[in-house]
Amino acid sequence: MSEADFGNHARLLAAAESPRAARPPLVRRPSLAARIWRIAAVRRAVILAGLVLIWQVAASIQNNPLLFPTFTQTFAAFVDSLTHEDLARSALASIAVLLKGYVIAIALALVLVSAATAVPFVKEVLLTLTAMFNPLPAIALLPLAMLWLGLGEASLLLVLVHAVLWPFALAALTGFEQVPETQRLVGRNYGLKGPAYVALILIPAALPSLLSGLKIAWAFAWRTLIAAELVFGVSSRSGGLGWFIYRNRNELLTDRVFAGLVTVILIGLLVEVVFRFVENRTVRQWGMQR
């Protein structure tokens, strides 16, 4: 580049440079309102408040607390049931049974899936069983479970395990099969084998599928349990949420029925928040899931 060329070039640069001073900075901070609106919890709260408002207005117009109590009536019944009735104990009883069935089913599924990834024939068996039982609603097994195991926790556990096992096994199997070949080779390259290989490579690599399987399985289990409890509760002593709803309907305490339903929903939302927290801290942070 000659001297003259260089001079030209410098002038061109200067010409391009000059309007830049007037330009706004590249990073513009959004306004306070926009930043608050970006918080997911804030948006959710606004949506919930809107739904509550619609509920309150609709129920007030209806003006028939026996069929459709307002939000405020339901809220009062909720507080009353929590403090004076056995709503809290029912909820805890339901959650305890749910966790028991959930853990048994997940453990069972992991054993089956491990065997399936090791032995092709077991995989064939598992895929066939999953195809058969996944579409079968768990609640449809309840009559048979009652016949076999009687009116008690064992019947509920059988139904719960059925609700959780197949969808989770399917998700886990898919997850393990989708682990990229390169990551498998990397693990083997370090001399990892057996349980260490599964724990340090396969499970974290399959975590997006495993988490989504856990989420789906949880939703199936929760629905199934509440439905099953409507029939006979958890046991004669501690009822469970489904039983709480059923009893109060018999006594035409509709506001308490609503309080029971709201509790079912709240627990569902709470678990959703927990899953979301775990996902944000793991698969989303690692860029394995958007």
- Sites for another protein among residues 168-207 (CB under 8 A): 180, 182-183, 185-186, 188-192, 196, 200-201, 204-205, 207
Distance CA 55, CA 94 (A): 27
Between 262 and 288, CB nearer to another protein: 288
From the list 224, 200, 199, 198, the residue with the least C-alpha distance to 139 is 224
Distance CA 97, CA 153 (A): 7
DSSP H helical ranges for 29-70: 32-37, 40-62
Between 25 and 287, CB nearer to another protein: 287
Query: Residues touching another protein: how many (CB under 8 A)?
Result: 21
DSSP track, 190-222: TT--HHHHIIIIIHHHTHHHHHHHHHHHHHHHH
To the nearest whole angstrom, how small is the minimum distance from the Cβ of residue 286 to another protein?
5
Between 238 and 289, CB nearer to another protein: 289
Between 199 and 266, CB nearer to another protein: 199
When asked if residue 282 is in the footprint of another protein (CB under 8 A), the reply is yes
Between 204 and 268, CB nearer to another protein: 204
When asked if residue 277 is in the footprint of another protein (CB under 8 A), the reply is no
DSSP track, 88-150: HHHHHHHHHHHHHHHHHHHHHHHHHHHHHHH-HHHHHHHHHHHHHHTTS-GGGGHHHHHHHH-
Helix (H) or strand (E) holding 12: helix 3-17
To the nearest whole angstrom, how small is the minimum distance from the Cβ of residue 181 to another protein?
8
Answer for which of 92, 151, 154, 288 binds another protein (CB under 8 A) is: 288
When asked if residue 56 is in the footprint of another protein (CB under 8 A), the reply is no
To the nearest whole angstrom, how small is the minimum distance from the Cβ of residue 31 to another protein?
27
When asked if residue 48 is in the footprint of another protein (CB under 8 A), the reply is no
Between 73 and 289, CB nearer to another protein: 289
User: 49, exposed or middle or buried, with CB in 10 Å at 0-12, 13-18, 19+?
Assistant: exposed
When asked if residue 6 is in the footprint of another protein (CB under 8 A), the reply is no
Secondary structure letter of residue 249 according to DSSP = H
When asked if residue 88 is in the footprint of another protein (CB under 8 A), the reply is no
Distance CA 231, CA 243 (A): 7
Residues near another protein (CB under 8 A): 180, 182-183, 185-186, 188-192, 196, 200-201, 204-205, 207, 282, 285-288
